[in-house]
Structure 1
């Protein structure tokens, strides 16, 4: 979990999402888990907020929320299964000093976490009937904050401290669990296909224990937070799992600063290495001293629709989990969406998506849907500018024009040449433009599909990983294989220019006065369509959204 740590060797806790130091709303929601490692009772959790001379504000947490993932982490703590908590409170404007406390077995309140949150109450604008003005200022402030972020450099990975056994990667074994999400299993199938294309003897095994010796094989674990929590730790003690990890490369797919990423991080220090599908993930692991490599996802024929070519009757499709950020976006744009032939599929949070999940389309049905769609719209899960590689590749492979909000980690793709990238509040304008200009929409889609088929095959990424692992294990350079790219993340290329008509529209609509005009035009009550932010329940280890 986020910030997962121990407190005075007695409590372990974590948060489901990062606690941002800046909030544009007075409403704050914090969810997570807390256990007493010694299996002593916990009588309460509360948050105390202090702001200048104002009286302190105390909020009790709702407790005993189901957390089967934490029960797997702490099998000797009976209360771990109900260790989840939720705090919902209202902060005052300005700087708030936050303390979160636990009431121990002796009913003493003890602070286990502290931070400061600066509140800029832009939600007041929305309540006053100016949601577009609120979004205008929030986007401006968020853009300014994003400009200070550090992009992942193309640097060498951090060497592991322990001596690691060498191997010859003629055989590749990928381990997963059938209790995992379909999305994760699809990534495993794609990577296995890439290694097979290189000529490696490749196996994708589910619910099987890794080999204690490599036996000239590269052993890969498909997302450790699922494989370990849902299978391995049910089969062997934690000590044995740590010993097995020394021969394993972890294939990770999780966004940094999420609970799943932190769970992977717990085990990564024992692994031979980590391979992440996104350069932002690679840099995050390296920042924690983990030897990490970039394993780019790429094209393989299994990503595409194999049936008859449909007529692209659907204007716009969205596939993803329903978070408060996405809920707010789609509720704001119901007028536009209702006038178009859209397929919006929201996957609920809180459980693993398997073949029995009706909300999650199997790969064949999803590919058929995308092959019949003009635009695949991408709205981020959170404020992170994470490039959702698997979703993008599937969309490109099936001939969609992808329109996404600003991202990082998209190299070697070029925005506005292989896909369309605009700011969050310009997404609908971009969709409108490309639906009104079908030739330009088809040109972007065709360029993206052609690029991944010819320049971004999955075998190329797999070869880069083999080369990087051999270089690190041998301590010397090796002969580059036939399929090779840089073994480290590439810098993102600059976006190409947008069409003149769309660029002019976005310049005009970007102004404060345009946002104010839209709110005044909607002052007859239309702004009531916007929904208040209602975050989803806290995620668990069984959860996976189609990201």
Structure 2
């Protein structure tokens, strides 16, 4: 898809480095890739000077950092003016919510995609956190349809018993159900393209809607069955596209939609439209304006 001309404003563009912080040797850094790309593209569409990079310090550029939850592993420190974009679920049972990470968040501006996360962070003493929803850029509509959709139900992501149980039940019923971990980029997208249904079940009991994963699927015309979420308000805008269901009805719901191609097609079209109505430029324009107000003062 060709890139349209990027709009310019009369104000000088801000200079950003959208940074995927974990080192290239860490495979799971790629979990941040699509949102980081979206932020970088949206900033450039707004007329700002942005680069997508692996470097935490790029002279003359303000970093927007993904993967700050892993920084302590590598002994990495972020510049004082860094914005930390959190994509992890802030849940009591999460291994990511450490005092070390919270201390880092308290020293920086934090952007977060989830209102539920934001409320939890504020309760944990992180005052400077702004809601930046996951938005859409047309460049990320990039998964071509497979010649044959030979996978019935697919899960890709971190796996535990809770996520594997429905897959095992479906296999027992003769359904070609697959679960994969550690796949990213083209290899993962090729699997997505072959699947009739992408299944989204929660890893934690907190049940925050995994919009980070699901948004990319909807934008690329993929059909999603998802376990119900704890926050109905966050999930409601996606209800015309995503087939939400209780955990105990996941298998039944998958079987229903496998036999209902017309219903799948209608939800797929709704998903594309929902994402196209969520331009990332709008969310990033508000977030950058907030940063600029802090520089200039009231």
TM over 0.5: yes
**1:221-272 Cα shifts (integer Å, max 9, x gaps):** 2222223432525xxxxxxx6xx33x1111111111223233431211211x
| Partners of 2:155 and 2:199 within 8 A in 1 | yes
For 1:176-191, what aligned pairs fall within 5 Å after superposition?
Answer: 176-177=21-22, 178-180=24-26, 181-191=29-39
| Partners of 1:380 and 1:386 within 8 A in 2 | yes
Distance in 2, Cα, partners of 1:431 & 1:275: 34
Aligned position for 1:266: 103
Q: Is 1:335 aligned with 2:172? A: yes
Aligned position for 1:250: 84
Aligned position for 1:391: 213
| Partners of 2:67 and 2:86 within 8 A in 1 | yes
Distance in 1, Cα, partners of 2:117 & 2:270: 27
Change (3 A) 1:400 1:451: same
State the shift of 1:377 in Å.
0.6
Match of 2:118 among 282, 286, 289: 282
Match of 1:314 among 151, 154, 160: 151
SS in 1 for 2:237: coil
| Partners of 1:198 and 1:459 within 8 A in 2 | yes
Aligned position for 1:72: none
Distance in 1, Cα, partners of 2:16 & 2:285: 12
Aligned position for 1:458: 280
Distance in 2, Cα, partners of 1:312 & 1:249: 40
Distance in 2, Cα, partners of 1:300 & 1:311: 27
Q: Is 1:219 aligned with 2:44? A: no
Aligned position for 2:197: 375
**1:299-356 Cα shifts (integer Å, max 9, x gaps):** 23443335466343432211122213223443444423xx2233322x2xxxxxxxxx
Change (3 A) 1:465 1:458: same
SS in 1 for 2:257: helix
Distance in 2, Cα, partners of 1:398 & 1:334: 26
Q: Give the TM-score normalised by the residue count of structure 2.
A: 0.82
Aligned position for 1:483: none
For 1:59-458, what aligned pairs fall within 5 Å after superposition?
Answer: 170-175=14-19, 176-177=21-22, 178-180=24-26, 181-209=29-57, 215=60, 217-233=61-77, 244-245=79-80, 247-257=81-91, 258-262=94-98, 263-271=100-108, 273-287=109-123, 288-307=125-144, 310-336=147-173, 339-345=174-180, 347=181, 360-407=182-229, 408=231, 411=234, 414-453=237-276, 455-458=277-280
Change (3 A) 1:179 1:283: farther
- Mind listing any 5+ residue stretches in structure 2 that lack a counterpart? 1-11
| Partners of 1:305 and 1:364 within 8 A in 2 | no
Q: Give the TM-score normalised by the residue count of structure 1.
A: 0.47
- Mind listing any 5+ residue stretches in structure 1 that lack a counterpart? 1-167, 234-240, 348-359, 477-547
State the shift of 1:471 in Å.
4.3
Change (3 A) 1:469 1:284: farther
| Partners of 1:378 and 1:405 within 8 A in 2 | yes
Change (3 A) 1:307 1:429: closer
SS in 1 for 2:134: coil
Higher helix share: 2
RMSD: 2.7
Aligned position for 1:13: none
Distance in 1, Cα, partners of 2:203 & 2:270: 26
